[in-house]
Structures are given as structure tokens and as C-alpha cells.
């Protein structure tokens, strides 16, 4: 039997156990409730990419929308969208109301198959595209008279023959049909012989034209029969062939060797044009004419012999034959075409036959290695650019029979130091000596009337030149950047001087432009920074009083900064013609000069002397800020002195105002701190502005 104490202890312990059990159950209930509450109303959307790149799942609350993920990728396929398991397309504006797995759908990418048939006909069974994972069996193409040798993936048929397309490649495919057989189609001509009239269909590297076909001679190859055939390296043409058409072998990039028939009379136009690998050529002795562009661009030919029977070499016949170093032109040749040897950059030695009467346009243009060249007396005419770019040419004797020197004749002939032009020459074309950077001496014949545009452009070592009487015009850029030219006399016959004519002539110190010149272009002396003295027949513009610029002769931006003395013999002077001419000290005007409106000497800070001014008015701000002007005699012609005419002429010491001056504006002598004024009149006229002498300069009346 338990005593009371034991019983109480037992009951106490029992109550503790019951209480703890209750607490445990309560805590567990709360936790379970929290878990249920936390997961309640949330759903997971998973993405099955069906072999594509991984897309992470998303969890959202009931009724919310999921974010559209980046599209997955799968090699060889295009992503086609997300779908439910039941096949319905999922839209990302839809609300989520349950867990769901979205499945990616894909569409195979179609790759193109490009067939290069080389004259053949493709099999109808050959598809023009395939999809990833799908192998394609290839069928042979057809070409009458040829055997199909298979499909290749390179134009030169290197590598292995392709029997089928492996669908795992997943790329566009290029296929080239290879054929065996001669590839030559012979056609019976009206004269009973055979000719090759159709384009060559073969793929062989070595081509041999038959001499006899079906018992009959082959005598002709038509225009462009072998043109642009990339496989041909060698061609042999039999002696039976008398005629080969225009461009028959043109642009065959791998062609190296050609055997021509010995009965051929004409190398046709463009025959070998663009055959960049043609390395050797024997022109048959029977040939009498080499056509236009016949060997143009044959940059691998190093040596070629022109037969004695040749009488004519066509335009651009050997243009850009850049490896040829020597050419012997036979005496039989009487005509050399324009640009015949242009771009032959390594050509060092060439002769001109005595039967040639004309050197046509661009004949030796770009022949940068020619040092010397004899011109026969038979030549009476030079075309344009004949020696343009002959950088090493040291000199050419121009025949005494020559009357015209064409445009660009010696342009960029950087090694020529002296040229003697015969007295027979009456015209020298534009840029004839441009960029002849070593030219020191050249004469201008008495028959020349025009110094053409760009004639001596950038002839930086030209030291002296005489412009003869009779010249009426000096063209634009005529002496541009002739930095060594120290003296230039312009004859009285000159009427016109073009834009930039003497621009950049740093060596010129004095320039006298005769009074007969009635037109001066823009920026004639721009950059002639050492010019000290300039005499002009007129001033053809400048900055007008309204701020506009005269395009004819913008003196403000043109006048050299070094110029100290200017003489103007005629014309109308107005505006601000000396704007920016900070070094001008003396200005002289001729008797025929007329004066218009404008601050003519505005801010001529070095000006000390003005002579010959004969205007009736001294304009507003006319001598503004001429801080070194010490004396100025107001001529009797002046009746009006306007607003601030002499403002800030701090060095001006004395000025005499004549009795003819009826009006003086306000602030005329403002800040003239050294000035004393002498007036011919006895007292201040009522017509003068009350502030005419705002700075209170000392005045002597009745002088």
C-alpha cells in the first residue's frame, strides 16, 4: 500500500507527463498546420526540352502566370513552342492552376543543296534541300557525250567522291559535277571546215584541240569558248586553226601554258585578258596585229617577244603585265594603242619605233621602273598621261616637231629634274608636270597662251620660271605648293588668275600682279606665308559690311600672314578686305581705286602707313584698333568722318581735318591717347556730333 506521500509524488509525476504530452501534440499540430499553410496554393511548372538545352522549372502561386523562359536550342532544329501533355499549345498569358510539365516541340532545319553542273543536267531525283538527321542518296547528272565521274564538294575535285549526304552534317552543301571526255563540241562551218563555237564543257586541266575532226580540218575557235574555265592549266591549239575569237581564253585563272597555231594572223581583243597565271607566251611569227586588252592583267608573264610582222598593238594590250622588264618593239609597228603598256610597273627597257607618229593616252602610265626613253622625231603628238606615274624616268627629249603636250603628260614623274620644251609647242595640258617633285628647271615657249590648271602642282623644287609675254591666263592650282619658287614675274598680257594659283608658295617674298588682270580667283596666295609685298590691280571682294564673303576672292582668309606691304591699283575696295592680315604695315592705293562702305582697315594692328586714299567718307570703324598708325593725312576729298572711325588708334599723334569735312560722327577719336587734332575751320561746326571728341584730345582751331 502506498502511503499518502508516495501517492502525491506519483500523481504529480503523472500530471507532468500528461502536460508534456499535451505540449508535444500542440507543437506538432502547429508545425503541421504551418507546413500545410505554406504549400497550399502553389504549383510547379516543369519544362521538358525534348533533347534541347535545359530550362529551369518555375513555382508560382495559384492563378499567377509563369515567366516566358529563353528559348532552348537543339542542333539541327528550330524551336517550335511549348505544349501541354494533351497537345495544346501553351500561352504565357495563361494562369497556372495545377502542377504541369510543358513539352518543347521542334521543327527540323532545312539545309540547301547547291548543284554546280558544269554544263550538265541534274537528275530529277536529287533534292535541293535536306533536314538534319536525314541522309540523302545522290543520283548522277547527265551531259550528252560525257561520262559522269561523280559529285565533289570542291570545284577542283580534290578529296573523295560524294555518294550521299550525311544528315548529321547540318550545313548547306555545295556539289560539283565532274565529267570526263574532251568537252569540245565541233560544228561544221559553211566553208566545209570544223569550228568550235560552243563553250567548252570539259573539266580537264590540259586541253588539246583536234587538228582533224571526222576527217576534216578544224580552223576556228569562236569568242569566249574557254573563258572563265577555272580548271584549265594548259591549252594546245593546232596549226590548222586560223582564227581565235575575242576573249577565247580570257579569265582562266590557272592557265599557264598556251601553244598557239603558226598560221594565226591576229591576237584577238581580250584573248588572254585576266589570265593571271599565264607565265610564258610565244606569239607566232605570222601575227600582224595584237588586239585591245589581249594580254591585259597577265601579271605572271615575265618575257614576251613581239614578232617582226606586227604592225599594230591595241589599246591596253599589255596593261598590268607587271612582271615584264623588257620589251623590244619591232620597226614594223606603226601604231601603239592607248594604255598599251600602262601598269607595267617593272618594265625598265622599251623602245619606240621610228614609224610611230603619236604616243596615245596613258601609253606608259604607271611604268614606275623606266629610267630613259628615246622619242623618235616621227612623233608629232603626245596624248594625255603618256608618262604619268613613271617615277624613275629621268628625262625625255621632246621632238622639235611637237605642237601639243597633253594633260598629265609627266604627272608624278618624280625623278625628272629638267625639261626642255621646244618652241614649236603652243599648248601644254592640265597637270602636265604635276607632282614632279624634283623638277628644278623648265621653259615655257613663246607660243603658249594659257598656263593650264595644276600645271606645276606640287613641283616643290622648282626654283624659277619665266611666264612669257602672250600668256593670258594662269589656271587654278597652277603653281600650288611650289615652295622653292622665289621669284615670279607675271606679264602684262595676263587677264585671269585662277583659284589657288600660287597657294603654298612659301619662297615668294614679292608679288606684282599687273593692272591688266581683271579676274583673280579664290585663295590665290593661301599659305604663301613668307610674302612681304603684294601689288594688286584691284581688290575683288573680301568680307562685306554685312558680314558676307565674296567667293571670288576672299581676301580675309587668303592673305598671307607674313604680308607687310600691299599696293592696289584699281577696283572697288570695301568691307574688311584685310581681316586677319596682322602684319600689314603699308597700304598704297592707285589713283583709279574707288572706295565703298566698310571698315577697310579694321584691326590692322601693324599698319603704320596708308597712302593714296581718295574716298569721300571715312567709314564707321575704318581704322578701328590700328594701334601702330602714327599719321594719317585726311585728303581734301573727305567730307564725312563716321562713328568710331579712329577708335583705339593709340599711336596716332596728329591729324589734320580740312574745311571740306562737314560731318564728324560720335566717338571718332575714342581712346586715341596720343592724338592732337588740328582743324582748318575756326570753330566747331554745328553739324559735328556733340561727342565727336569723346576723349578730349587737344584741338587747335583755325590751323
If residue 28 lies in a helix (H) or strand (E), which one and from where to where?
helix 4-39
The reply to whether 98 and 116 lie within a common domain is: no
Instruction: Examine the domain organization and report whether 126 and 82 are in the same domain.
Output: no
* CA-wise closest residue to 702 among 681, 677, 676: 681
Closest alpha carbon to 392 in 409, 412, 410, 368: 368
Asked if residue 138 and residue 79 are part of one domain, the reply reads no
Which cell numbers in the block locate residue 620? 564707321
pLDDT value at position 324? 97
Provide the domain limits for residue 173: 110-180
How many structural domains compose the chain?
2
* pLDDT mean over 574-597: 88
> Quick one: cell of 166?
550525311
Retrieve residue 489's grid coordinates.
614675274
What's the rounded Cα separation, in Å, for the pair 306 and 294?
Answer: 13
**Confidence grade of residue 3 (pLDDT, cut at 50, 70, 90):** low
The whole-angstrom separation of Cα 239 and Cα 236 is 10
Q: What confidence score (pLDDT) does residue 554 get?
A: 37
- Tell whether the model's pLDDT for residue 543 goes beyond 50: no
Residue 93, in any domain of the structure: yes
Q: Are residues 104 and 114 in the same domain?
A: no
The C-alpha angle with vertex 332 and arms to 330 and 336, in degrees rounded to 5, equals 80
Q: Is residue 120 a part of any domain in this protein?
A: yes
pLDDT band at 27 (very low <50, low <70, confident <90, very high): low
Residue 595 inside a domain? The answer is no
Find out whether 47 and 77 touch, Cβ atoms under 8 Å: no
Three-state DSSP state, 512: strand
C-alpha separations of 525 from 375, 483, 506, 559 in Å: 38, 12, 9, 6
Query: Which of 140, 165, 180 lies at the terminal end of a domain, its last residue?
Result: 180
Evaluated on CA atoms 89, 91, 94, 99, the torsion sign reads positive
Is 518 domain-assigned?
Answer: no
Instruction: Identify the domain boundary among 165, 180, 195.
Output: 180
Q: Are residues 114 and 170 in the same domain?
A: yes
Q: Are residues 85 and 126 in the same domain?
A: no
- Kindly report, residue by residue over 213-263, the tens digit of the pLDDT: 989 999 999 999 999 999 999 999 999 999 999 999 999 999 999 999 999
pLDDT at 156 over 60: yes
Residues 102 and 120 in one domain: no
- Evaluate whether residue 154 is within a structural domain: yes
What is the C-alpha to C-alpha distance for residues 624 and 327, in angstroms, rounded to an integer? 71
Question: Max CA-CA distance within the chain?
Answer: 162
Residue 31 pLDDT > 60: no
In sequence order, the 6+-apart residues with CB closer than 8 A to the CB of 546 are: none
pLDDT higher than 80, residue 548: no
**Residues 86, 146 within the same domain:** no
What pLDDT, in 10s, does the model give residues 273-321? 999 999 989 999 999 999 999 999 999 999 999 999 999 999 999 999 9
At which of 148, 180, 212 does a domain end?
180
**Does residue 136 share a domain with residue 94?**
no
The DSSP letter of residue 169 is: S
Q: Which residue has the higher pLDDT, 544 or 108?
A: 108
- What mean pLDDT, rounded, does the chain reach? 89
Global pTM reads 0.67
Which residue from 55, 63, 58 is spatially nearest to 81, judged by alpha carbons? 55
Mean pLDDT for 630-644 is 95
pLDDT per residue over 368-422, tens digit each?
999 999 999 888 888 999 999 999 999 888 888 888 899 999 999 999 999 999 9
* 595-629 confidence digits (pLDDT tens): 999 999 999 999 999 999 999 999 999 999 999 99
Q: For residue 458, what is its C-alpha cell?
A: 606640287
Question: Do the domain assignments include residue 49?
Answer: yes
The per-residue pLDDT for 578 is: 83
Instruction: Based on the fold, state whether residues 78 and 93 are members of the same structural domain.
Output: yes
Does some domain include residue 160? yes
**Burial class of residue 406, CB neighbours in 10 A (0-12, 13-18, 19+):** buried
Burial code of 589-605, b = ≥16 C-beta within 10 A, e = fewer? bbeebebebbbbbbbbe
Number of other residues whose CB lies within 10 A of the CB of residue 542: 24
The CATH number given to whatever domain includes residue 146 is 2.60.40.4270
Residue 497, domain member (yes or no): no
Amino acid at each position: 500500500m502506498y502511503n499518502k506521500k508516495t501517492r502525491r509524488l506519483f500523481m504529480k509525476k503523472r500530471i507532468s507527463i500528461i502536460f508534456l504530452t499535451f505540449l508535444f501534440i500542440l507543437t506538432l499540430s502547429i508545425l503541421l498546420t504551418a507546413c500545410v499553410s505554406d504549400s497550399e496554393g502553389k504549383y510547379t511548372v516543369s519544362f521538358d526540352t525534348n533533347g534541347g538545352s535545359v530550362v529551369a522549372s518555375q513555382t508560382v502561386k495559384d492563378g499567377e502566370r509563369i515567366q516566358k523562359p529563353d528559348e532552348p536550342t537543339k542542333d539541327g532544329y528550330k524551336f517550335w513552342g511549348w505544349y501541354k501533355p494533351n497537345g495544346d499549345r501553351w500561352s504565357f498569358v495563361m494562369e497556372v492552376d495545377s502542377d504541369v510539365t510543358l513539352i518543347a516541340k521542334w521543327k527540323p532545319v532545312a539545309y540547301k543543296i547547291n548543284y554546280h553542273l558544269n554544263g550538265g543536267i541534274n537528275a530529277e531525283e536529287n533534292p535541293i534541300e535536306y533536314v538534319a538527321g536525314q541522309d540523302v542518296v545522290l543520283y548522277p547528272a547527265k551531259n550528252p557525250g560525257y561520262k559522269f565521274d561523280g559529285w565533289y564538294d570542291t570545284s577542283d575535285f580534290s578529296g573523295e567522291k560524294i555518294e550521299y549526304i550525311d544528315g548529321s552534317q547540318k550545313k548547306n552543301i555545295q556539289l560539283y559535277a565532274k565529267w570526263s571526255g574532251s568537252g569540245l563540241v565541233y560544228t561544221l562551218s559553211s566553208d566545209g571546215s570544223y569550228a568550235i563555237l560552243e563553250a567548252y564543257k570539259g573539266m580537264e586541266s590540259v586541253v588539246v584541240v583536234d587538228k582533224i575532226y571526222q576527217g576534216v580540218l578544224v580552223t576556228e575557235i569562236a569568242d569566249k569558248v574557254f573563258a572563265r574555265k577555272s580548271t584549265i592549266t594548259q591549252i594546245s591549239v593546232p596549226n590548222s586553226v586560223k582564227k581565235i575569237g575575242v576573249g577565247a581564253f580570257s579569265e582562266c585563272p590557272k592557265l599557264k601554258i598556251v601553244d598557239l597555231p603558226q598560221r594565226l594572223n591576229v591576237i584577238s581583243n581580250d584573248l588572254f585578258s585576266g589570265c593571271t597565271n599565264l607565265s610564258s607566251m610565244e606569239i607566232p611569227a605570222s601575227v600582224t596585229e595584237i588586239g585591245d586588252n589581249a594580254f591585259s592583267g597577265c601579271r605572271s608573264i615575265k618575257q614576251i617577244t613581239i614578232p617582226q610582222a606586227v604592225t599594230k598593238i591595241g589599246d591596253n594590250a599589255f596593261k598590268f603585265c607587271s612582271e615584264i622588264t623588257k620589251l623590244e618593239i619591232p620597226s614594223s609597228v606603226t601604231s601603239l594603242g592607248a594604255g598599251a603598256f600602262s601598269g607595267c610597273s617593272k618594265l625598265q627597257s622599251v623602245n619606240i619605233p621610228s614609224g610611230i607618229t603619236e604616243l596615245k593616252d596613258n601609253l606608259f602610265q604607271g611604268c614606275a621602273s623606266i629610267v630613259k626613253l628615246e622619242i623618235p622625231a616621227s612623233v608629232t603628238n603626245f596624248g594625255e598621261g603618256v608618262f604619268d606615274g613613271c617615277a624613275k624616268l629621268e628625262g625625255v627629249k621632246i621632238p622639235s616637231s611637237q605642237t601639243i603636250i597633253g594633260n598629265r603628260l609627266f604627272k608624278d614623274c618624280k625623278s625628272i629634274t629638267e625639261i626642255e620644251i621646244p618652241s614649236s609647242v603652243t599648248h601644254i595640258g592640265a597637270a602636265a608636270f604635276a607632282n614632279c617633285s624634283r623638277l628644278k628647271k623648265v621653259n615655257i615657249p613663246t607660243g603658249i597662251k594659257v598656263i593650264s590648271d595644276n600645271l606645276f602642282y606640287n613641283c616643290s623644287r622648282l626654283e624659277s620660271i619665266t611666264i612669257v609675254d602672250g600668256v593670258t591666263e594662269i589656271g587654278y592650282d597652277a603653281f600650288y605648293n611650289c615652295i622653292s619658287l622665289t621669284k615670279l614675274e607675271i606679264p602684262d598680257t595676263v587677264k585671269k588668275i585662277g583659284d589657288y594659283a600660287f597657294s603654298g608658295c612659301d619662297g615668294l617674298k614679292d608679288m606684282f600682279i599687273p593692272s591688266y588682270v581683271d579676274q583673280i580667283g579664290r585663295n590665290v596666295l593661301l599659305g604663301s606665308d613668307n610674302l612681304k609685298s603684294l601689288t594688286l590691280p584691284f581688290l575683288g571682294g573680301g568680307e562685306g559690311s554685312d558680314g558676307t564673303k565674296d567667293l571670288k576672292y576672299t581676301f580675309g582668309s587668303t592673305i598671307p600672314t607674313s604680308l607687310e606691304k600691299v599696293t592696289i591699283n584699281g577696283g572697288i575696295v570695301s568691307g574688311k578686305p584685310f581681316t586677319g592680315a596682322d602684319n600689314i604695315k603699308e597700304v598704297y592705293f592707285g589713283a583709279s581705286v574707288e572706295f565703298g562702305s566698310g571698315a577697310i582697315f579694321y584691326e590692322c594692328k601693324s599698319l603704320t602707313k596708308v597712302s593714296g586714299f581718295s574716298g569721300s567718307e571715312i567709314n564707321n570703324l575704318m581704322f578701328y584698333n590700328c594701334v601702330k598708325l602714327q599719321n594719317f593725312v585726311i585728303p581734301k576729298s573727305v567730307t564725312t568722318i563716321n562713328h568710331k572711325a579712329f577708335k583705339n588708334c593709340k599711336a596716332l599723334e596728329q591729324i589734320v581735318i580740312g574745311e571740306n569735312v562737314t560731318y564728324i560722327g560720335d566717338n571718332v577719336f575714342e581712346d586715341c591717347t596720343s592724338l592732337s587734332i588740328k582743324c582748318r575751320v575756326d570753330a566747331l561746326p554745328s553739324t559735328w556730333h556733340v561727342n565727336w571728341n569723346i576723349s578730349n584730345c587737344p584741338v587747335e582751331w583755325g590751323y
